[in-house]
Chain A
């Protein structure tokens, strides 16, 4: 029983956490690609930016002496989302819109997004320094331990409070996004434009509005993903820059341009990573009593050494690009 609990703790919970973060980031990447037709490299830094916005807000709450029952990072999340969405709109107006007006190629926009990446990262380091910060400097991080002795386990299933809230928030966002895309006029317009931008324009869809809504959604989801990542680990200026590639991998595996594909891809990549570095000996140890002495399991039976965890995502990415570049759900391309 302990082996199963270990598996739940190390694979199910951490895989779901990582999957939620990847999925929320990948939805933004995929929407921007679907509507604006370029790979937005600065998305990771938009996540970091959102996390820092939430951090500043929660620091302000703490300075005002307000104590909240939930971790303050979650309490300020709606406001942080609005601010990040406004910042995302500003970035588009300042850097991408002029290039689009001139009819620049998607490649130019991609390079411009790298410029934006560098500027956001430079500014964040300028203002906050390059050190690591934590949302939980002032308040403790609650850890729930679910006692499993009733099924014969000696260790509890442990899950932290941010992780638990994270699952709820992700589920809520995914459901809300689903209803937005399938029921509202604007959501339908977005899907139409992702399918065929020219056709959408001649059939009277306000493309400028759709572009704005895309940035608002992408920005606010980036804020959620960044803040959750920062709550789960720690906050630093290169927080999400390092995971922008797995996020792209998730978006591509799911099929660029498909919001649902991004969610599936996010969880797929996250679980592939988690399972690849999982030490199977910990689960299979009971076999040692059955197996002969010479075939005893080694101390570490992971498919991939832990140092190569991120490499798993890149390998999946490269294989997907080669075998099925359009992803699981047939995605768009430039």
Chain B
């Protein structure tokens, strides 16, 4: 863009004015939705949108700052949810008083033995086994380790599922659970990043989506730990529940509004803190280095930057936010249901938020998160309205009414999401609030 073009675009279309206008427009959208759907409903949407904004910020660290193609968002959110269950769900005495802990201990022992076997096999070159033989030995060690682990975990899992149901929680505060979710997500991200960050874009996307499906299969089927498809509920809240407020004398309607306001305040505080740090990191030398790596990793590495190491940092930081966001969502809905996690809702939607909002710009990403989540939620009643009117029309034409309007309207969300992303890529590929690229001499 030439200097003249830049000066022509001054006036109303500065990034700041544009951002303010878009945020104002979103505020109006929120108010309208609130008036139409009621304050309890809009508060529900806002809390969930806040959690999704946190996750989207995490993706922005990975994709916006570092150009990393992470499609495992669903996996990290599930990990966050499951970790929160483990830490904050009430203690299950039936499990702790049974033989379960001891059997799990044996399974852990078997796991460590398997791990030791693999590690030993990997050092086989010390005793003169190299090349293909070493590879074969490592593969054999993996196999033997897997068998040893399976012989211990299978009976333990069957025993726990038949006696105590599942392990249960530790009964700690939910906020600790969220932090733990972030921690577990970080540990998993470390290993995932370690093995897959060397891959290029398309391959990285496919590998991470595969890893996310593996995590889903594990969480869904490890009934002894996560209760699998039987779901865990009710999850305790960090703030007073509506029932507690009712006991204090609030009316039923007020209690829901009040409880959600408390939760919203807590979630927004977390979002603001995360936003502050993420934004600071972007402006500082660290963020500058990351952008240098993103824009030209060859040049950055020839300047002595450790590209893979830095990318691993980004991957871990981003995944922490995804884990925390997943934990908040699971706590808020009070139910942890592994079957409820879908790539469409938990991976693709986050990507749409970041792309539409403006990858690389934190304000844009937060705006995108709220905007897309609200669009996602309201496209269902809106579609229902349209279908009901169409149905009247088709009936008057003698074609009969549209069947199953409810379920069809619900599916419109997915379609609208698809339209939004294709339109955004075509007409605003840099997003609603694009990243501000500062260059010397402009």
Contact = CB atoms under 8 A, between A and B. Distances in A.
Interface of A: 33, 38-39, 95, 98-99, 104, 106-108, 110-112, 114-123, 125-126, 129-130, 245, 248-249, 252, 305, 307-308, 310-311, 314-315, 317-318, 321-322, 325, 333-334
Contacts of A321: 196, 199, 203, 206-207
Given A99-B426, A110-B202, A118-B344, A311 B214 contact: yes
A176 B254 CA distance: 69
Main secondary structure of the interface of B (DSSP, over half): helix
Nearest to B426: A98
Given A111-B355, A116-B422, A307-B221, A249 B210 contact: yes
Nearest to B414: A122
Interface in B23-78: 69
Interface in B6-32: none
B202 A314 contact: no
B412 to A, nearest CB: 6
17 contacts: A106-B202, A108-B425, A108-B429, A111-B355, A112-B421, A112-B422, A115-B417, A115-B419, A120-B418, A122-B413, A122-B415, A125-B411, A314-B210, A314-B213, A314-B214, A317-B210, A321-B196
B200 interface: yes
Given A122-B412, A130-B407, A322 B196 contact: yes
B351 interface: yes
B95 interface: no
B148 interface: no
Interface residues of B, number: 44
A130 B344 CA distance: 15
Interface string B197-215: 0011111011101110110
A318 B196 contact: yes
Nearest to A333: B200
B34 to A, nearest CB: 27
A118 B425 contact: no
Nearest to A95: B422
A54 to B, nearest CB: 21
Q: Which 5 A-B pairs have the closest CB atoms?
A: A122-B415, A118-B418, A119-B418, A125-B411, A115-B421
Contacts of A125: 408, 411, 414
B425 A315 contact: no
A130 B411 contact: yes
Nearest to B387: A126
Given A121-B344, A333-B202, 10 more contacts: A33-B202, A107-B69, A108-B425, A108-B429, A118-B417, A119-B415, A125-B408, A245-B206, A308-B221, A322-B196
Instruction: Identify the interface centre among B199, B211, B415: most chain A CB within 10 Å of its CB.
Output: B415
B421 A111 contact: yes
B416 interface: yes
